[in-house]
Chains A and B, each alone.
Chain A
Amino acid sequence: MLVSLYRYNPETDNAPYMQDIELDIPKGKDLMVLDILNLLKEKDPSIAYRRSCREGVCGSDGMNMNGKNGLGCITPMSEVVKHDKLVLRPLPGLPVIRDLVVDMSIFYKQYESIQPYLINDEPAPAIERLQSPEDREKLDGLYECILCACCSTACPSFWWNPDKFVGPAGLLQAYRFLADTRDTAQAERLSNLDDPFSVFRCRGIMNCVSVCPKGLNPTRAIGHIRNLLLQRAT
């Protein structure tokens, strides 16, 4: 199989380039893309990429595989390889540090901007803040996000305005806290989002939904935020 790999080492290369490497794949096995990278790294130890849990939990190895973002560790070859060729690139739209390793600072900055923690100014009860099972259910499909950045870096609105548009990952988490009945800062959270960029740059093209490795739906969460903003505005 031919693997075309994005290579860039700012210390030695003037510009990024694609390196074509022929790789023998063990017969009868449907390897994950991360396994392929590990095989490549045995041949050439200078190849750089992030990985940790290798089972789709940590979100470290988000990358662009044959044009589609996903986690290398849980994406089988059979799903992405076309015509015996695999093109691996870093997540689009973020500055490349080296090879497949990108600088995610701006992604985390947007995540930080939505205050991703419970805000409750009422005195804490003796044991814990209780929630009914129905209220807890409202958080399903929101809390599972692992912040791999596959969705935000597949979003053209985030590519053009990463400093102003929160992006699908951040907005999914924004709604996770807006929907939490234990949170008392809903009004402030909404005020913080009511500008023409933070939420409203979403054009609903749903790239985020199509790439999310956890099967989450940021577009729906953004729709809920928009409804909350509309209800509040009268």
Chain B
Amino acid sequence: MVSSVTNLGRSGVYDWMVQRVSAYVLALYTIFLLGFVLTTDISYDTWSGLFGETWFRIFSLMALVAMGAHAWVGLWTVTTDYIKPTAPRFLVQAACGAVMFVYVVWGVQILWGL
């Protein structure tokens, strides 16, 4: 048993599940957006119309949170692979965490125009 405090869920199976579930959300969102772009004549009106829908704002926020969690698990894995000294690794992880937090809060502001 290896103890770890910096990963997302403290347990391997939890991180694994978060990674899989968030991957499905991101895949669905990407496929939907691609489908929308390919089948709709994109203009300011259609685009702002789409983002004006509450269900799409919720879907977008869900994708954004999924991206944050997905990126956290992924980058945590990368940093523990390649950055062996504790202090630099912790700093890089903290920076990644800060960036993801900013993206999520910023995303809320953009989506709801707060």
Contact = CB atoms under 8 A, between A and B. Distances in A.
A195 B4 contact: yes
A108 interface: no
A205 to B, nearest CB: 13
Contacts of A199: 12
Contacts of A160: 81-82
B24 to A, nearest CB: 15
Interface stretch (B13-21, B43-51, B95-103): B13-21
A198 B13 contact: no
B7 interface: yes
A191 B106 CA distance: 39
B60 interface: no
B54 interface: no
A164 interface: yes
B1 A226 contact: no
Interface in A182-234: 191-201, 226, 229-230, 233
B114 interface: no
A228 to B, nearest CB: 10
A198 B16 contact: no
Interface in B5-53: 7, 11-17
A191 B1 contact: yes
A200 B80 contact: no
Nearest to B15: A196
Nearest to A198: B2
A161 interface: yes
19 contacts: A160-B81, A160-B82, A161-B80, A193-B1, A193-B12, A194-B13, A195-B4, A196-B4, A196-B76, A197-B4, A197-B12, A197-B80, A198-B1, A198-B2, A198-B12, A200-B13, A200-B16, A201-B77, A226-B13
Interface of A: 157, 160-161, 164, 191-201, 226, 229-230, 233
